[in-house]
Chain A
């Protein structure tokens, strides 16, 4: 018996000691290594809404709850894993044919399932396929990081337009252009907008085609998951099949309240925290970042204006983007225009969160709009057009200087 009790004691001691040990009982990841969590300063009621939106964001749809009948992914979180960037396996494709420099002369092939390919379908239904057309433009896109979006939304248009230079008046070769797009019928302004010819400046999406988060969320529900809402009631279907016969869920499949809670969640997700910001190499890299001209488009910070949410009001936003469109050269061109964005233009992608992308993709990051680059160097190498000079300057740096700049990027 005595040895048995010794064994029991040993077991108990091990368990008790283990209770304080992260090895045995896991430990919380450091705040700066993850993207999720609410922005500071939310009230209890706002935190409750945030939590409700968080749950909806993670909700995975099935045919019984409205998925499809055609779709790209079955949940928000499938593309934005841990609120991060989309993996190439979750990329979506938009397509059409026509003049890539003018959206008005571009055919989005609505009769063939355009503008977005839903390459998946529920059981018993037929997924869409890309039409076999000559000159078909395909725009393959990864989902972007969704954190800090409320701060971006709260940036006044005037702040963004400060960096616009469509005629390149300063002669630096950088021409930031805003994308003015037609607002959807359910558009609700959350900041002051200044319409231009009935259009409003977009700031979300790879080509800044979405004006605000509500639009982004409602359209993603429909186009990415085949989920109808009070905002977009008509279900998707494969035009070659004729109707949404595979979807037996009554419309709307989610309520306006659900869409709004997810919108609130995205609006109040905290921005990605910096890592190693005080590291001398990182600081040195920050200098090179400005020196080679990256910061001309990847503007380090902007300021928010008014917002109904106090935590978003009058804040400095270290997003490293000007939220404007730029010609990125032939390597990145997709030939797919959206609004005033031509086939070779992309909105400057905010760089915050760049350093944790890989950690949320099983250790292998995938950069750029379609995840084609596995390293930051590869991503920089792909830059052309207005970014060509900066790209060349980067590769002209010594390897130590390049590493410093890359260390800075990884700290974002």
Chain B
């Protein structure tokens, strides 16, 4: 067994380093000038890719600029162009980065976002009435420790103080914009939503089903890896992220009441130790180009059960594999955003059919910004209409006894109207209608209205 473990790790690490080596060679060979990047993305700025707008700048005190040193230039450079749109470095508060005398001259920025909502939902005509929810209050910290090191963290309070979690706490060592060594509590890049999930980013209140059930957003894990971006041609950009993390745990099955639930594999204990000693591998590669196009391919592979105790193999290793595709494109005022994922889960013989070995899902948003302009004292307000289709099949398969399809599926339609007084603030009202299919194929309908506010600060 010990030999088997060594062989496994040997093959695994060899593949991992091989992949890393390939990346290094690739970006080194493509030492494209930063001018290219300037040409493609406009003048260098530390402002996030889309937030806030110039008009918002006018409403807020001018933020002190910050200086990068050393390898990254003597002034803010394109290296600040976010690796991921909507990701941890694409938040408005980073634009307020300044130097604090009280903190000994450290460059630091504080920010966050909050979202709350009210809802009235009926399922099969029955309702528990009207309810408010303080869904999230998240605090961000960003600090640039000189030119080489930067740190960012996110502390999340869900539903008041019912859940408090350190969602991100990572340190980047920037050798080059195409090669950043990252370590700490990070967001495994499975799909795009997990790494760009802030409520104010979206005009629909609830998170996509596929991104919370098949991809267990928000999934944080501890590990390290590399990330970066480079420019193979003018106007085209490639991102990559590749991390080794502790990995999701056996709660996928063990703590799951309704069947396979990947999100149950998350645990605060994940930050303390690896349950089985075998790290998981996760990564994403994405292309960004004209029309705001971004296409990403990502994945996760890891063992989720405790299959050995010291040198003794006490169970069969059970693997979880997730593959995700995400895309976004804009045509004038219309943006289409989608994400799909499929997960394969090893299920032990004694739990076959009770737990799913395959799950998949998809969502698509069509966002129409039908009005944008000055509205009274608001210089650049906007109204958006959003339609979303969500579908997840949490149990792909058939009953051996009857040959019938195993249900456990949800189809949800959402129609939302969002008013954005500023780009980082969304007041929205939405109607959603879900068809919930249980394992046996019984369909229950759930529908209702939600309204809420989400804003960066």
Taking a contact as CB atoms closer than 8 A, the residue among B253, B370, B401 that contacts A91 in the complex is B401
Question: Given that A4-B370, A362-B407 are known contacts, is A29 also in contact with B254, CB under 8 Å in the complex?
Answer: no
- Bound complex: CA A277 to CA B124 (Å): 25
Task: State which residues 83-121 of A face B: CB under 8 Å.
Answer: 87-89, 91, 119-121
Contact residues in A for B417 (Cβ distance below 8 Å): 8, 11
Task: State which residues 150-204 of A face B: CB under 8 Å.
Answer: none
Taking a contact as CB atoms closer than 8 A, the residue among B125, B351, B440, B447 that contacts A120 in the complex is B351
A364 CB within 8 Å of chain B: yes
Taking a contact as CB atoms closer than 8 A, the residue among B255, B306, B404 that contacts A364 in the complex is B404
Question: Given that A18-B431, A362-B404 are known contacts, is A124 also in contact with B448, CB under 8 Å in the complex?
Answer: no
Q: Which residue of B lies closest to A120 (CB)?
A: B350
* Binary contact readout A120-133 vs B (1 if CB under 8 angstroms, 0 otherwise): 11111111000000
Taking a contact as CB atoms closer than 8 A, the residue among A18, A28, A91, A362 that contacts B442 in the complex is A362
- Bound complex: CA A11 to CA B415 (Å): 10
* Binary contact readout A1-43 vs B (1 if CB under 8 angstroms, 0 otherwise): 1001001100100010010001011111100000000000000
B440 touches A123 (CB 8 A): no
Rounded to whole Å, the gap between the CB of A57 and the closest CB of chain B is 14
Which applies to chain B's interface (DSSP): helix, strand, loop or mixed? loop
B305 CB within 8 Å of chain A: yes
Question: What count of chain A residues pass the 8 Å CB interface test?
Answer: 46
Contact residues in A for B380 (Cβ distance below 8 Å): none
Rounded to whole Å, the gap between the CB of B203 and the closest CB of chain A is 14
B431 touches A119 (CB 8 A): no
Question: Given that A22-B125, A60-B257, A362-B404 are known contacts, is A127 also in contact with B448, CB under 8 Å in the complex?
Answer: no
B31 CB within 8 Å of chain A: no
B122 CB within 8 Å of chain A: yes
**Between-chain CB contacts (< 8 Å), 29 pairs:** A4-B370, A7-B370, A7-B385, A18-B431, A26-B446, A26-B447, A27-B124, A27-B125, A29-B125, A61-B257, A62-B254, A63-B254, A64-B255, A73-B354, A74-B257, A89-B401, A89-B402, A89-B439, A120-B351, A120-B354, A123-B250, A123-B253, A123-B254, A123-B348, A124-B314, A124-B315, A125-B350, A362-B440, A362-B442
A26 touches B123 (CB 8 A): yes
B399 touches A88 (CB 8 A): yes
B440 touches A62 (CB 8 A): no
B124 touches A127 (CB 8 A): no
Rounded to whole Å, the gap between the CB of B313 and the closest CB of chain A is 12
B441 CB within 8 Å of chain A: yes
Contact residues in B for A27 (Cβ distance below 8 Å): 124-125
Contact residues in B for A261 (Cβ distance below 8 Å): none
B442 touches A361 (CB 8 A): yes
A297 CB within 8 Å of chain B: no
Q: Which residue of A lies closest to B256 (CB)?
A: A62
* Binary contact readout B375-411 vs A (1 if CB under 8 angstroms, 0 otherwise): 0000000010100000000000001111010010000
B207 CB within 8 Å of chain A: no
Task: State which residues 400-432 of B face A: CB under 8 Å.
Answer: 400-402, 404, 407, 417, 431
A81 CB within 8 Å of chain B: yes
- Bound complex: CA A127 to CA B350 (Å): 5
A64 touches B254 (CB 8 A): yes
Rounded to whole Å, the gap between the CB of B263 and the closest CB of chain A is 14
- Bound complex: CA A22 to CA B447 (Å): 10
B399 touches A28 (CB 8 A): no
Contact residues in A for B401 (Cβ distance below 8 Å): 88-89, 91, 371
A81 touches B442 (CB 8 A): yes
Give me 5 other A-B pairs in contact (C-beta within 8 A), A22-B125, A121-B348 excluded: A11-B417, A63-B254, A89-B401, A122-B254, A362-B437
Question: Given that A24-B433, A119-B350, A124-B315 are known contacts, is A15 also in contact with B449, CB under 8 Å in the complex?
Answer: yes
Question: Given that A4-B371, A366-B402 are known contacts, is A89 also in contact with B348, CB under 8 Å in the complex?
Answer: no
Question: Given that A25-B447, A120-B354 are known contacts, is A81 also in contact with B255, CB under 8 Å in the complex?
Answer: no
B445 CB within 8 Å of chain A: yes
Contact residues in A for B443 (Cβ distance below 8 Å): 362
Q: Which residue of A lies closest to B419 (CB)?
A: A8
Rounded to whole Å, the gap between the CB of A163 and the closest CB of chain B is 34
Task: State which residues 340-354 of B face A: CB under 8 Å.
Answer: 348-351, 353-354
A360 CB within 8 Å of chain B: yes
Contact residues in B for A119 (Cβ distance below 8 Å): 350
A29 touches B314 (CB 8 A): no
Contact residues in A for B125 (Cβ distance below 8 Å): 22, 25-29
B126 touches A81 (CB 8 A): no
* Binary contact readout B122-139 vs A (1 if CB under 8 angstroms, 0 otherwise): 111110000000000000
* Binary contact readout A62-84 vs B (1 if CB under 8 angstroms, 0 otherwise): 11100000100111000001100
Rounded to whole Å, the gap between the CB of A59 and the closest CB of chain B is 8
B59 CB within 8 Å of chain A: no
Question: Given that A62-B255, A91-B401, A360-B442 are known contacts, is A26 also in contact with B348, CB under 8 Å in the complex?
Answer: no
Contact residues in A for B383 (Cβ distance below 8 Å): 4
Taking a contact as CB atoms closer than 8 A, the residue among A28, A74, A123 that contacts B126 in the complex is A28
B442 touches A29 (CB 8 A): no
- Bound complex: CA A75 to CA B401 (Å): 20
Rounded to whole Å, the gap between the CB of B384 and the closest CB of chain A is 12
A26 touches B350 (CB 8 A): no
A363 CB within 8 Å of chain B: yes
Residue of A26, A73, A360, A362 with highest tally of chain B CB at under 10 A: A26
Rounded to whole Å, the gap between the CB of A339 and the closest CB of chain B is 28
- Bound complex: CA A61 to CA B305 (Å): 19
B354 touches A74 (CB 8 A): yes
Rounded to whole Å, the gap between the CB of B192 and the closest CB of chain A is 29
Contact residues in B for A64 (Cβ distance below 8 Å): 254-255
Rounded to whole Å, the gap between the CB of A363 and the closest CB of chain B is 7
B258 CB within 8 Å of chain A: yes
Rounded to whole Å, the gap between the CB of A149 and the closest CB of chain B is 22
Contact residues in B for A82 (Cβ distance below 8 Å): 442
Task: State which residues 310-324 of B face A: CB under 8 Å.
Answer: 314-315, 318
Q: Which residue of A lies closest to B444 (CB)?
A: A26
B438 CB within 8 Å of chain A: yes
Rounded to whole Å, the gap between the CB of A392 and the closest CB of chain B is 29
Task: State which residues 346-370 of B face A: CB under 8 Å.
Answer: 348-351, 353-354, 370
- Bound complex: CA A364 to CA B441 (Å): 9
- Bound complex: CA A362 to CA B402 (Å): 12
Contact residues in B for A366 (Cβ distance below 8 Å): 402
- Bound complex: CA A121 to CA B347 (Å): 11
Task: State which residues 45-66 of A face B: CB under 8 Å.
Answer: 60-64
Contact residues in A for B123 (Cβ distance below 8 Å): 26
Contact residues in A for B445 (Cβ distance below 8 Å): 26
A24 touches B402 (CB 8 A): no
- Bound complex: CA A75 to CA B441 (Å): 18
Q: Which residue of A lies closest to B126 (CB)?
A: A28
- Bound complex: CA A171 to CA B370 (Å): 83
* Binary contact readout B280-319 vs A (1 if CB under 8 angstroms, 0 otherwise): 0000000000000000000000000110000000110010
B441 touches A363 (CB 8 A): yes
A121 touches B351 (CB 8 A): yes
A126 touches B350 (CB 8 A): yes
Question: Given that A88-B402, A361-B441 are known contacts, is A123 also in contact with B255, CB under 8 Å in the complex?
Answer: no
Q: Which residue of A lies closest to B314 (CB)?
A: A124
Taking a contact as CB atoms closer than 8 A, the residue among B258, B371, B448 that contacts A60 in the complex is B258
A121 touches B441 (CB 8 A): no
Contact residues in A for B257 (Cβ distance below 8 Å): 60-62, 74-75
- Bound complex: CA A120 to CA B96 (Å): 57
Rounded to whole Å, the gap between the CB of B214 and the closest CB of chain A is 20
Contact residues in B for A127 (Cβ distance below 8 Å): 349-350
Rounded to whole Å, the gap between the CB of A10 and the closest CB of chain B is 11
Question: Given that A25-B447, A123-B254 are known contacts, is A89 also in contact with B353, CB under 8 Å in the complex?
Answer: yes
Question: Given that A60-B257, A366-B402 are known contacts, is A87 also in contact with B351, CB under 8 Å in the complex?
Answer: no
